[in-house]
């Protein structure tokens, strides 16, 4: 009797564990079972964008009122104003170009009243080839727009627009759903596009009660993704749909010359998996040309430094430089917005009608030394080295040793004195640190130790500094995030990041029920020089300025490429841990071989040193393995983690 009950219990337990593992695997979460060093760099580039893509997009300037004259006007301005030379290459059509999907064979038809050069032949035969040929002849590249679902954003949200797709229900289904191979081949092979932005309204807003569904004009699409609600989103399904687009692109462009821009507004936890599926991925809902909304977009990306790197970019949305709060009467704000995007390695996509651009706006968009920060080949996103609700210091490690870009950001309405010190920069305190103002393009002398800068209200002081690095050789891992792949994040249930600035919701105002809370998962993901919950790194009451904070059951890959000889860190359970019961073992692998391991570390136990010889190693893997279960998430710290 006793043993039968025990057996039953054991069986039930085994089933429960199997289900939990399967669920975890489905949601893309680390489970102890999947936590193996692979020895191989797990990221294959999606398309080609070794530095953040730069270009122009029609949406912020024209909304759904896009047409050929407007787009070509922007293209000509990019060339004439020197912006093309400064790096802006992509000219992207957003929502609004379509007439319908041809009934006979599903081929997409362009609205030739808007794009006259697309009328290339008999009835129903349209092509963007003349348009992309023109752009290519100007030395530019061409971008197009579609949606993951059957229907698109404008059909849901701009029902009165006269230029919406026409015809019967099937003819008005202009999105990729059910047509991925056909459309991608048409856009990239026949029409010659180089870049595609794939929106997500079709899988989100066409449920029976959605903005598209309620109109009764479209086929109902039960939402796979609920904007503002991670738990109600079918994360694996959304990811799989984007992965199909990626695979279709790889098939038509085997040389990898394409950009795939995921536009699902930071929902469905895309901030964790965008790197595996897209070239860039939106981290927030739409930016607008006002200060508060810009802060919201910026905050959605500023804690995501571990996810971005060469070929994979966090996208806080397109630029509003030139528009609204960032127009020629607000040049300081425009420079701030541009500086923040530059230092965060955001794609720089101009959203302004360049045909009317005053020189002051062109000068901002073309600022060579600020653009150089964004396009630095190391691809290390800026890291928040100091942050409060008022001021922030963002530091980006540049590829030339000893050089860093620094943004001193005054978020308040009053002038501020912000002190920058050598510790923010990971530089030695008693050697001179030289400073250059990247907007004024002027050297500001040098300092040792620290220096106070006066920063005007809403200003970002954008500097480049050079000094003597604290480490005689190599880097702290938090200085080389462009080489890190978060292979497993250790997050069991995606949680929303509460640190993001809350603006008035642009669609529902103050009366909407769901508009004002931050709704992007990412809380608990690994961070540089911070715990995963945005605290100071601290083990047994000793705080550490530098290091990587993560949850247990995480695996980080570092692309060392044989360039280092030694890994070192001090490891332990962070004082901010939610679970205090389970110990954690810290393991270091080199190309799949175990090189060093800590003893099981417990809460409140002093940090233990961990060192490994990594000479010749291509991929270093750091695994924090939780031993047993815990009621809460276990937070770990790889303090002072460095490759020298
Ligand atoms: C969504 C996107 C925007 C834009 C519009 C077009 O809102 O986030 O960037 O593409 O759709 O309708």
pLDDT of amino acid 510: 79
Q: What is the DSSP letter of 470?
A: S
As a whole number of angstroms, the longest Cα–Cα distance in the chain is 87
Pocket-testing residue among 62, 64, 65, 95, ligand 1, by greatest number of atoms within 8 A of Cβ:
95
Q: What is the mean pLDDT of the chain?
A: 94
The reply to whether 513 and 562 lie within a common domain is: yes
Under the banding of pLDDT at 50, 70 and 90, the label for residue 14 is very low
Residue 7: inside a domain = no
Residue of 334, 326, 324 whose CA lies nearest to 367 = 334
What CATH number does the domain containing 367 carry? 3.20.20.70
Say yes or no to pLDDT of 223 above 60. Answer: yes
Q: How far away, in angstroms, is 328 Cα from ligand 1 center?
A: 25
Q: Could you give the 3-state DSSP secondary structure of residue 628?
A: coil
Q: Please state the atom number of ligand 1 nearest to the C-alpha of residue 263.
A: 8
Written as one string, the DSSP assignment of 495-528 is EE-TTS--PPBTTTBTT-SSSSS---EEET--EE
The reply to whether 81 and 229 lie within a common domain is: yes
Q: How far away, in angstroms, is 567 Cα from ligand 1 center?
A: 44
Number of folded domains in the chain? 3
**Ligand 1 pocket member 315 (CB < 6 A):** no
The reply to whether 440 and 496 lie within a common domain is: no
**Ligand 1 pocket member 283 (CB < 6 A):** no
Q: Which residue minimizes the CA distance to atom 11 of ligand 1?
A: 153
Task: Please list the residues that pair with 327 across neighbouring strands.
Answer: none
Say yes or no to pLDDT of 7 above 80. Answer: no
Q: How far away, in angstroms, is 199 Cα from ligand 1 center?
A: 7
The reply to whether 486 and 429 lie within a common domain is: no
With 0-12 / 13-18 / 19 or more C-beta atoms within 10 angstroms meaning exposed / middle / buried, residue 332 is middle
Q: Which residue minimizes the CA distance to atom 3 of ligand 1?
A: 286
Q: Please state the atom number of ligand 1 nearest to the C-alpha of residue 265.
A: 8
Q: Quick one: how many helices (H) and strands (E) in the chain?
A: 14, 33
Q: Could you give the 3-state DSSP secondary structure of residue 469?
A: strand
pLDDT of amino acid 23: 39
**Ligand 1 pocket member 59 (CB < 6 A):** yes
Say yes or no to pLDDT of 11 above 60. Answer: no
What gap in Å lies between CA 644 and CA 625, rounded to an integer? 24
**Ligand 1 pocket member 643 (CB < 6 A):** no
The reply to whether 346 and 244 lie within a common domain is: yes
The reply to whether 497 and 412 lie within a common domain is: no
Q: How far away, in angstroms, is 153 Cα from ligand 1 center?
A: 6
With 0-12 / 13-18 / 19 or more C-beta atoms within 10 angstroms meaning exposed / middle / buried, residue 414 is exposed
The reply to whether 163 and 277 lie within a common domain is: yes
**Ligand 1 pocket member 386 (CB < 6 A):** no
Question: 351, 374, 397: which is the final residue of a domain?
Answer: 374
Residue 336: inside a domain = yes
Q: What is the DSSP letter of 633?
A: P
Under the banding of pLDDT at 50, 70 and 90, the label for residue 123 is low
Q: How far away, in angstroms, is 174 Cα from ligand 1 center?
A: 15
End-to-end CA distance of the chain: 61
Evaluate whether 596 touches 588 at the Cβ level (below 8 Å).
yes
The reply to whether 156 and 217 lie within a common domain is: yes
Under the banding of pLDDT at 50, 70 and 90, the label for residue 513 is low
Q: How far away, in angstroms, is 123 Cα from ligand 1 center?
A: 30
Q: How far away, in angstroms, is 95 Cα from ligand 1 center?
A: 7
Q: Please state the atom number of ligand 1 nearest to the C-alpha of residue 197.
A: 10
Question: 470, 486, 516: which is the final residue of a domain?
Answer: 470
- Mean per-residue pLDDT for 614-630? 97
**Ligand 1 pocket member 199 (CB < 6 A):** yes
Q: Which residues, other chains included, contact 487 with Cβ-Cβ below 8 Å and sequence gap of 6+?
A: 38, 42, 555, 556, 557, 621
Under the banding of pLDDT at 50, 70 and 90, the label for residue 509 is confident
Residue of 338, 346, 69, 93 whose CA lies nearest to 77 = 69
Q: How far away, in angstroms, is 1 Cα from ligand 1 center?
A: 64
Question: 419, 438, 470: which is the final residue of a domain?
Answer: 470
**How many C-beta neighbours within 10 Å does residue 453 have?**
18
The reply to whether 349 and 436 lie within a common domain is: no
Say yes or no to pLDDT of 446 above 90. Answer: yes
Q: Which residues, other chains included, contact 482 with Cβ-Cβ below 8 Å and sequence gap of 6+?
A: 308, 309, 310, 378, 379, 380, 381
**Ligand 1 pocket member 97 (CB < 6 A):** no
Q: How far away, in angstroms, is 487 Cα from ligand 1 center?
A: 30
Evaluate whether 16 touches 9 at the Cβ level (below 8 Å).
no
Token match 């893309």: residue?
Answer: 28
Structural domain of residue 522, as residue ranges? 35-43+476-643
Q: Please state the atom number of ligand 1 nearest to the C-alpha of residue 145.
A: 10
Q: Could you give the 3-state DSSP secondary structure of residue 68?
A: helix
Residue 360: inside a domain = yes
Geometric angle at alpha carbon 358, from 354 and 359, rounded to 5°: 105
**Ligand 1 pocket member 153 (CB < 6 A):** yes
**Ligand 1 pocket member 286 (CB < 6 A):** yes
Under the banding of pLDDT at 50, 70 and 90, the label for residue 507 is confident
Say yes or no to pLDDT of 116 above 70. Answer: yes
What is the pairing mode between strands 98-101 and 108-110?
Answer: antiparallel
Residue 6: inside a domain = no
Which helix (H) or strand (E) segment holds residue 145: the answer is strand 141-147
Q: Please state the atom number of ligand 1 nearest to the C-alpha of residue 154.
A: 12
Residue 166: inside a domain = yes
**Ligand 1 pocket member 98 (CB < 6 A):** no
The reply to whether 394 and 512 lie within a common domain is: no
Say yes or no to pLDDT of 368 above 50. Answer: yes
Q: Which residue minimizes the CA distance to atom 8 of ligand 1?
A: 286
The reply to whether 94 and 177 lie within a common domain is: yes
Q: How far away, in angstroms, is 71 Cα from ligand 1 center?
A: 17
What CATH number does the domain containing 539 carry? 2.60.120.1060
What CATH number does the domain containing 410 carry? 2.60.40.1180
- Mean per-residue pLDDT for 359-372? 98
The reply to whether 300 and 447 lie within a common domain is: no
Residue of 277, 224, 271 whose CA lies nearest to 246 = 277
Evaluate whether 143 touches 71 at the Cβ level (below 8 Å).
no
Geometric angle at alpha carbon 571, from 398 and 275, rounded to 5°: 45
Q: Please state the atom number of ligand 1 nearest to the C-alpha of residue 318.
A: 9
Evaluate whether 496 touches 520 at the Cβ level (below 8 Å).
yes
Q: Which residue minimizes the CA distance to atom 4 of ligand 1?
A: 59
pLDDT of amino acid 33: 52
pLDDT of amino acid 505: 81
pLDDT of amino acid 85: 98
- Mean per-residue pLDDT for 576-593? 98
Pocket-testing residue among 57, 155, 263, ligand 1, by greatest number of atoms within 8 A of Cβ:
263
Which are the catalytic amino acids? 199, 286
What gap in Å lies between CA 213 and CA 228, rounded to an integer? 18
Say yes or no to pLDDT of 411 above 90. Answer: yes
Q: Which residues, other chains included, contact 478 with Cβ-Cβ below 8 Å and sequence gap of 6+?
A: 383, 528, 529, 546, 547, 548, 641
Residue 312: inside a domain = yes
Q: Which residues, other chains included, contact 149 with Cβ-Cβ below 8 Å and sequence gap of 6+?
A: 175, 176, 177, 200, 201, 202, 203, 204, 206, 221
pLDDT of amino acid 514: 59
Question: Residue 611 is encoded by which pair of tokens?
Answer: 């060192």
Residue 189: inside a domain = yes
Say yes or no to pLDDT of 83 above 70. Answer: yes
Geometric angle at alpha carbon 191, from 190 and 192, rounded to 5°: 100
Any idea of the CA torsion for 34, 40, 42, 44, to the nearest 10 degrees? -160
**Ligand 1 pocket member 163 (CB < 6 A):** no
Residue 2: inside a domain = no
pLDDT of amino acid 518: 63
Under the banding of pLDDT at 50, 70 and 90, the label for residue 124 is low
Query: pLDDT digits over 272-301, tens only?
Result: 999 999 999 999 999 999 999 999 999 999
Determine what percent of the chain is predicted with pLDDT higher than 70.
Answer: 93
Pocket-testing residue among 66, 153, 316, ligand 1, by greatest number of atoms within 8 A of Cβ:
153
**Ligand 1 pocket member 154 (CB < 6 A):** yes
């Amino acid at each position: 009797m006793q043993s039968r009950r025990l057996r039953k219990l054991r069986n039930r337990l085994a089933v429960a564990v199997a289900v939990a593992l399967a669920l975890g695997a489905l949601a893309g979460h680390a489970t102890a079972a999947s936590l193996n060093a692979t020895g191989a760099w797990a990221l294959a580039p999606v398309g080609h964008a070794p530095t953040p893509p730069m270009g122009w997009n029609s949406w912020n300037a024209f909304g759904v009122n896009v047409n050929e004259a407007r787009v070509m006007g922007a293209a000509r301005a990019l060339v004439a104003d020197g912006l093309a030379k400064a790096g802006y290459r992509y000219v992207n059509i957003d929502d609004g170009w379509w007439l319908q999907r041809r009934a006979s064979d599903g081929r997409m038809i362009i609205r030739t009243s808007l794009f006259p050069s697309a009328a290339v032949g008999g009835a129903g035969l349209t092509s963007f080839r003349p348009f992309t040929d023109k752009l290519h002849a100007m030395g530019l590249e061409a971008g197009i727009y579609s949606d993951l679902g059957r229907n698109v954003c404008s059909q849901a949200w701009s029902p009165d627009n006269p230029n919406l797709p026409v015809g019967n229900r099937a003819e008005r289904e202009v999105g990729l759903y059910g047509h991925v191979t056909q459309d991608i081949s048409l856009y990239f092979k026949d029409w010659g596009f180089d870049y595609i932005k794939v929106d997500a309204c079709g899988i989100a807003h066409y449920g029976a009660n959605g903005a598209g569904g309620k109109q009764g004009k479209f086929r109902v699409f039960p939402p796979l993704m609920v904007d503002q609600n991670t738990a109600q989103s079918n994360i694996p399904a959304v990811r799989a749909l984007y992965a199909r687009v990626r695979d279709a692109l790889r098939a038509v462009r085997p040389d990898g010359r394409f950009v795939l821009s995921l536009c699902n507004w930071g929902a469905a936890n895309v901030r964790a998996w965008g790197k595996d599926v897209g070239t860039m991925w939106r981290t927030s809902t739409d930016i607008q040309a006002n200060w508060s909304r810009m802060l919201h977009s910026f905050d959605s990306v500023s804690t995501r430094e571990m996810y971005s790197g060469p070929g994979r970019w966090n996208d806080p949305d397109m630029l509003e430089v030139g528009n609204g709060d960032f127009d020629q009467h607000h040049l300081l704000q425009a420079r701030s917005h541009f500086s923040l995007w530059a230092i965060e390695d955001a794609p720089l996509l101009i959203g302004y009608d360049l045909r009317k651009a005053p020189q002051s706006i062109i000068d901002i968009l073309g600022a060579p030394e600020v653009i150089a920060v964004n396009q630095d080949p190391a691809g290390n996103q800026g890291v928040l080295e100091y942050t409060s609700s008022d001021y922030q210091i963002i530091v980006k490690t540049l590829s030339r040793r000893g050089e860093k870009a620094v943004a001193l950001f005054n978020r308040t309405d009053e002038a501020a004195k912000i002190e920058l010190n050598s510790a923010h920069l990971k530089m030695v305190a008693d050697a001179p640190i030289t400073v250059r103002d990247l907007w004024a393009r002027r050297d500001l002398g040098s300092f040792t130790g620290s220096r106070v800068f006066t920063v005007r209200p809403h200003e970002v002081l954008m500097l480049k500094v050079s000094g003597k690095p604290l480490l005689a050789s190599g880097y702290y891992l938090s200085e080389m995030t462009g080489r890190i792949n978060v292979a497993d994040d250790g997050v069991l249930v995606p949680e929303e990041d509460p640190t993001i600035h809350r603006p008035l919701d642009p669609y529902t105002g103050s009366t909407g029920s769901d508009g004002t809370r931050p709704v992007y998962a990412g809380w608990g993901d690994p961070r540089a020089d911070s715990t995963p919950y945005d605290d100071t790194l601290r083990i047994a009451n000793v705080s550490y300025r530098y290091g990587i904070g993560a949850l247990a059951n995480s695996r980080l890959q570092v692309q060392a490429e044989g360039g280092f000889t030694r890994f070192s860190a001090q490891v332990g359970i962070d004082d901010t841990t939610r679970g205090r019961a389970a110990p954690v073992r810290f393991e270091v692998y080199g190309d799949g071989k175990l090189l060093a391991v800590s003893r099981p570390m417990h809460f409140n136990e002093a940090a233990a040193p961990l060192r490994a010889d990594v000479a010749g190693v291509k991929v270093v893997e750091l695994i924090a393995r939780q031993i047993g279960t815990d009621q809460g998430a276990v937070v770990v710290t790889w303090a002072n983690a460095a490759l020298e």
